[in-house]
Structure 1
Amino acid sequence: MRPSILKSLKPDIIVEMLEIAFLFENWDKLLNTSDILYSYAQCIYEERQFFKAKRLPVPHVNMARPLVYYYGFSHLMRGIACQKQGQYNRAREYIDKYAELGWMEDLGEEGMQIVEEFRFLARANGYALDILSGKTERLAEYVVFLKNNPEELLPGLDTILQAALRHGLSVDDLLDTFAEQAAEFGEYEDAGNVSHYYSYCHHLALYHKQAGRQDKALKYAMQALILAHQSGNDRNFKKCMALFESLREGADEEQIRQYEERLRGCLLEVHQQLV
């Protein structure tokens, strides 16, 4: 993309596009849009360095955050997209890039704070990547990290459940350890945490199904279905329907009633949209 086009972009709108792509699990779009944000940040940084070298006034660019944020966020989203697609080596490369952004010049106090925030995220996501890729010996260290950083607990437990499903681990004791905190996950209202909570419920249902605990599997399958419906994510809703149907034989009348009521509500919404 030509520099003139890149400089005309609005980075905060690109950030919003990335957040939407993440919520709807559109990993290809997440990766492609992250590439655009990175190219924008690189273009602006190189222009600033050029004007400084020529001892000319640096052109003002309308950005809500310091430039380092867009660098870091582009790498963060690239890493997430690669991780979700199972490309762990590429994901690690991007984690390494936003783990240390202190090389940028003229960061200022706010910029340095952003550098520290991305350094923390790199540590958290590095643990997650290790656990998912089979380095389960790091699980105990990751648990200590989650205890010390409760804001990472929801995505952290979701990661642990995914690793348990992938590598055949039993994490019952660990789930019991965090049961009190996990009971509060349903109180989150922001879109990012609701998305994490859906994923957590879905993987928890699969984990209990794998362990032969039908009642618990049904409970969390229904919760995931409700969250997918509330978020308007049709793909996730279909996944939850398939999961519930695979468990339907063990469901009681009340669970089936709630499930069918939810489906009727969805059909009504579709009908109203068509009228």
Structure 2
Amino acid sequence: MRPSILKLLNPDIIVEMLEMACRLEDWDKMLNTAGILYNFAQCIYEERQYHKAKGLPVPLVDTQRPLVYYFGFSHLMQGIAYQKQQKYDEAKETIYRYAELGWMEELGGEGEEIAEEFRYLARANLYIVEILSGRMEFLEGYTQFLQDNPEELLPGLGTIVQAAVNYRLDVDDLLHRFAEQSAGFGDYEDADNLSHYFSYCYHLALYHRRAGRLQEGLDWTMQSLRLAHQSKHDGNFKRCLALFEALREGMTDEQAGGYHGLLQECLGQIV
């Protein structure tokens, strides 16, 4: 994309497009859109540096946030997309890019704070990628990180349970350690945390199924179904239905009633 076109873009609209693509789990679109945002930031930064070097007035660009944010956010979203595609090496490469944004000149106070926020996110997300790629030697350090940073506990436990399912690990003791804090996960209402909570519940259902705890698996599958229905995510709803059918031999009367009640609610909305 030519610099003349890039400079006409509104980066804050691109940020919104990236957030929407993430909610829709359109990872290829995220990668493409993140590349556009990065190219915008790079174009504006190079133009500023050129004008400074020539002693010319620096062109002003009207953005809601400092330029460093768009660099960091473009790499952050690329890393998330690669992680979801299980391209963990590529995800780590992008994490390293937003782990240190101090190379930018004249960040200023707000820019320094933004760079520090991305440095923190990089630390958290690097743990996630290492755990998901099977490097369990990072589990103890990640557990301590979650204890020190409880705001990361929901995506963190979701990551650990997903890895436990993928690599057939026993994490019962770890789940018990965080039982009190995780009991409040259902209180979240914002879209990002609801997405993390769905992943946590779904993988917890798979984890209990693998351990032979069918009723626990059914309970978490029901919770996953409710969340998928609430978010109107048809793909997740279908995955949960398939899992429920695989577990239904251990279903109690109470679970059967809850299941049929949810299906009736879905049918009522369709009608």
1:146 corresponds to which letter in structure 2?
L
Q: Equivalent residue for 1:207?
A: 207
Q: Equivalent residue for 1:156?
A: 156
1:163-182 matched pairs, under 5 angstroms: 163-182=163-182
Q: Distance in 2 between matches of 1:42 and 1:105?
A: 13
Q: Distance in 1 between matches of 2:44 and 2:188?
A: 37
Q: Distance in 1 between matches of 2:155 and 2:114?
A: 21
Shift of 1:19: 1.4
Q: Distance in 2 between matches of 1:269 and 1:2?
A: 48
Shift of 1:233: 1.2
Shift of 1:200: 0.5
2:128 corresponds to which letter in structure 1?
A
Q: Distance in 2 between matches of 1:108 and 1:253?
A: 62
Query: TM-score, normalised on structure 1?
Result: 0.95
1:236 corresponds to which letter in structure 2?
N
Q: For each residue in 1:84-136, what CA deviation from the matched residue of structure 2 results, as whole angstroms up to 9, or x when unmatched?
A: 11111111100110010000011100000111111111111111111111210
Q: Equivalent residue for 1:130?
A: 130
Question: Secondary structure in 1 aligned to 2:139?
Answer: helix
CA RMSD in angstroms, aligned pairs only: 1.2
Q: Distance in 2 between matches of 1:9 and 1:246?
A: 49
Q: Distance in 2 between matches of 1:264 and 1:14?
A: 39
Question: Secondary structure in 2 aligned to 1:80?
Answer: helix
Q: Equivalent residue for 1:110?
A: 110
Q: Equivalent residue for 2:45?
A: 45
Shift of 1:162: 1.1
Comparing 184-193 and 56-65, the one that deviates more: 56-65
In structure 2, the CA distance between the partners of 1:9 and 1:270, relative to structure 1 (3 Å rule), is farther
Comparing 77-86 and 24-33, the one that deviates more: 24-33
Query: TM-score, normalised on structure 2?
Result: 0.96
Comparing 134-143 and 52-61, the one that deviates more: 52-61
Comparing 92-101 and 246-255, the one that deviates more: 246-255
Stretches of structure 1 that go unaligned for 5 or more consecutive residues are: none
Q: Distance in 2 between matches of 1:6 and 1:270?
A: 43
Q: Equivalent residue for 1:258?
A: 258
Q: Distance in 2 between matches of 1:35 and 1:264?
A: 44
Question: Secondary structure in 1 aligned to 2:86?
Answer: coil
Shift of 1:239: 1.0
Q: Distance in 2 between matches of 1:270 and 1:108?
A: 53
In structure 2, the CA distance between the partners of 1:235 and 1:107, relative to structure 1 (3 Å rule), is same
Q: Distance in 2 between matches of 1:19 and 1:254?
A: 38
Q: Equivalent residue for 1:8?
A: 8
Q: Equivalent residue for 1:189?
A: 189
Q: Distance in 2 between matches of 1:167 and 1:97?
A: 29
Q: Distance in 2 between matches of 1:121 and 1:37?
A: 19
Q: Distance in 2 between matches of 1:17 and 1:151?
A: 25
Stretches of structure 2 that go unaligned for 5 or more consecutive residues are: none
